[in-house]
Structure 1
């Protein structure tokens, strides 16, 4: 989000679009501003959907400071470098696919070198300390209770007092205190990720009991328990609970593999900031005899031969990384279980599996889904509908406008309805990408430029999701046709429909 004061401009976060392939294409588009003229970035936290375009920004000429908390700066080195490696490897993988022979080559969005260039621009500043990100701007960070180092950003400029929530954590979250921020603001920008969900409240002990049950149910089947897990924060929370359950002999004595180099590096940052963490009981929970950190690819591949193990791997939405490798080797097994412990955006492989797909396509291969698919929601790093409402209420009075962002359409609409019912006079805005608003003290924001109106379509499943679903089931459908001739006739008819559609399109 760009904040402009006269000719000066700063950014609040600079994140990567995540979801369907169509949504991800937005990452390759041009910035709506000149990166060379951005004077600073105020970064709320190190999740890729908030920092993942910083390497692209730096590669295109940005040289200013990236202000963030010390823990965020430490995490940023590994998060951005990993993102750069993923961009390079994904481009290479797509270019090597046989079904793309002869097509234009994919170019990575940015490289690992670009990522490290961006990280070197980070400027750590402690919570509650005022700093000047650029002339005319004054800022400080507040604990957001979301992940290690996560903060809300309070900004003052030209007499306008505002706060950007970043991502907010739930109450009673492991490791971190509850979110804080100032009150009596002109404008607020608040996330709405879970704006339409009222989750059952879990204590840490209740959460551990739920995890214990899932582990026992999975391992008694004889196969593996595969957990797609976000490398940052979710993996460390799971390790906290797994170590506790193992020490209390509440789960079987089986090996626990963390198959994510990024998660291993992030865990080292957590250990370095142990003094800031709650709920660890003074123990080094990240070094436990049952927990094994998998670094090299050969060791990761050897996990294919195992049964009865717990395998945690990134990414949490199954869109990249080693988790796709483990899904390929476990989804077809009736004795294995896949346990989701985090949010799955529309259009991601994780969401497709949760929605009950019987076959999925992974790296060009069709995989039958016979494994048991499970989900627990007690590990969310995001505040739910009531907690978001409570956070907004605590910021009152709001003299200007409340902006609701970072949520799917249904989530934003639900949260807006709740806040509006509580205070009908509140000016509430759900901005679209590209919209521009004039912000003034004590008065609602005024829109001065419209934005994109197609984001709802881009945020959900796209044609490539539909294509993957169609292809994975095509062979089954053809197999139900009785004769060879009828099958070939069906294929001819499908091709004819596509040809007729293409011809009609050219004549419009």
Structure 2
């Protein structure tokens, strides 16, 4: 008897962000992730966005982790009628409130600014599509589960989370689907971590699967060795110090900011850091760093042992020159610091947040250095800068780019091509792989390598459904 089930790829198909897949088994409808696509005018995107299904028809959401491109549409899903449970790990449940509240408040602030502009132009005002109360409702609907804790979402679905090693709480989603005597094992990798990076343990290995949705962000390349990456990072910091300017590091508040603090702490403890001030200029990153410090038992043991070796009890004590700037006034005051500072701020792709204000004041100064330590999606300001654009628009105004731009890929929290291949080839059974979370070039390269190794592999296409 065949399994009466299908899977539809609604997001992060032939692109990196916007993770969203609809699983249907019998009359049950479950979303795997509900994430935002990143890159365009977010106000316009929010207001024209329509779910390709009715939110009130969704029975449950299973969340791989808390990053906004995996979770960011949850408040809108709730605002438009979803009332089911949201299943995630305990770490993700702690982080969700911080990220979603920040995302919605940023949206409301930007909407207020845009409505002021519309009023001056005699245009009608835009009503908000969601509110902070929708974030509160998301949290009320969240049901946290531990790693390797099997849980029956419904009669037809048994769920188990494995550690993906990407960020705090990140998970590989394992689903045992049953309908009568028919069954299938469906696995969604979420974002698989890079074993070489710090803080998180290596991704767990899946024993067996029939269908695997696998991320492919770095499917066309491997990351350089971490020692070389750290040397490259230290050299960029040295060059900025010698030039007499400041260093600006766009970094996501969740995951990347904490890793960069660890690396800066390591350079400081090794007496390789010339700058005398490091600033974490993000209220959200500050709050998340405190959560990381509370959950250090989920770190990779080798990293907690190193902290202990230097007498540090958390990331802040590992980097004593760290300053935390929670308020907007403290952030604005950083513009008066002309040299010798390292400023970490979000967003990681420069499509919002305090980093954009810093770019407005500093991108045109040749002494400054801008260090990218993460992936930059198509359509973002970060991608324009990484691609070498000499003139960009910041807050609607054209600006010349004179700051030195560095791109350091070895810090990625995503598995590279070799790690993806190793993870995939170790899965038992004869799984059919579908590549998600990648740009076409990366996916095509990974697909070719997987086919060469005898693995069944297709590239997921947006809007397409497969029968399970």
The TM-score normalised by the length of structure 1 is 0.82
Q: For the Cα contact (< 8 Å) 2:43–2:110, is it kept in 1?
A: no
* Moved segments of 4+, more than 6 Å: none
Q: Deviation digits for residues 247-278 of structure 1, max 9, x if unmatched?
A: 33211241111111110111011011011112
Give the drift of 1:164. 0.4
Q: Deviation digits for residues 324-350 of structure 1, max 9, x if unmatched?
A: 000001101111111111000111100
1:435 counterpart residue number: 464
1:219 counterpart residue number: 241
- Equivalent position SS for 2:153: coil
1:407 counterpart residue number: 438
- Does 2:107 match 1:87? yes
Task: Select the residue among 325, 328, 334 that pairs with 2:360.
Answer: 328
Q: 1:410 to 1:109 in 2, by over 3 A?
A: farther
Root mean square deviation of aligned Cα: 1.9
- Equivalent position SS for 1:84: helix
After superposition, residues 24-63 of structure 1 pair within 5 angstroms as: 25=45, 28-63=48-83
- Equivalent position SS for 1:133: strand
1:454 counterpart residue number: none
Give the drift of 1:32. 2.1
1:497 counterpart residue number: none
Q: 1:19 to 1:100 in 2, by over 3 A?
A: farther
Q: For the Cα contact (< 8 Å) 1:80–1:119, is it kept in 2?
A: no
State the alpha-carbon separation in 2 of the partners of residues 173 and 373 from structure 1: 23
Q: For the Cα contact (< 8 Å) 2:244–2:367, is it kept in 1?
A: yes
Q: Deviation digits for residues 133-163 of structure 1, max 9, x if unmatched?
A: 2331101011111111101000011211111
Task: Select the residue among 87, 108, 116 that pairs with 1:96.
Answer: 116
Task: Select the residue among 282, 296, 308 that pairs with 1:274.
Answer: 296
State the alpha-carbon separation in 2 of the partners of residues 108 and 39 from structure 1: 25
1:256 counterpart residue number: 278
Q: Which has the larger radius of gyration?
A: 1
Higher relative contact order (CA 8 A, sep 6+): 2
2:407 counterpart residue number: 375
State the alpha-carbon separation in 1 of the partners of residues 155 and 57 from structure 2: 13
2:18 counterpart residue number: none
Task: Select the residue among 311, 324, 329 that pairs with 2:343.
Answer: 311
- Equivalent position SS for 1:120: helix
State the alpha-carbon separation in 2 of the partners of residues 237 and 119 from structure 1: 26
Give the drift of 1:23. 12
State the alpha-carbon separation in 2 of the partners of residues 414 and 21 from structure 1: 30
Structure 1 unaligned segments of length 5 or more: list them.
440-508
Q: 1:27 to 1:76 in 2, by over 3 A?
A: farther
Give the drift of 1:114. 1.4
State the alpha-carbon separation in 2 of the partners of residues 209 and 331 from structure 1: 24
Task: Select the residue among 177, 180, 190 that pairs with 1:157.
Answer: 177
1:188 counterpart residue number: 212
Q: 1:313 to 1:108 in 2, by over 3 A?
A: farther
1:285 counterpart residue number: 315
Structure 2 unaligned segments of length 5 or more: list them.
1-20
State the alpha-carbon separation in 2 of the partners of residues 6 and 352 from structure 1: 45
State the alpha-carbon separation in 2 of the partners of residues 289 and 109 from structure 1: 43
After superposition, residues 413-428 of structure 1 pair within 5 angstroms as: 413-423=444-454, 426-428=455-457
Give the drift of 1:183. 2.7
1:173 counterpart residue number: 197
Give the drift of 1:188. 0.5
Give the drift of 1:120. 2.4
- Does 2:60 match 1:64? no
- Equivalent position SS for 2:98: helix
Aligned residues: 434
1:201 counterpart residue number: 225
Q: For the Cα contact (< 8 Å) 1:226–1:310, is it kept in 2?
A: yes
Q: Deviation digits for residues 339-394 of structure 1, max 9, x if unmatched?
A: 11100011110010111111111112221111111111121011111211111111
1:483 counterpart residue number: none
- Does 2:24 match 1:4? yes
The TM-score normalised by the length of structure 2 is 0.89
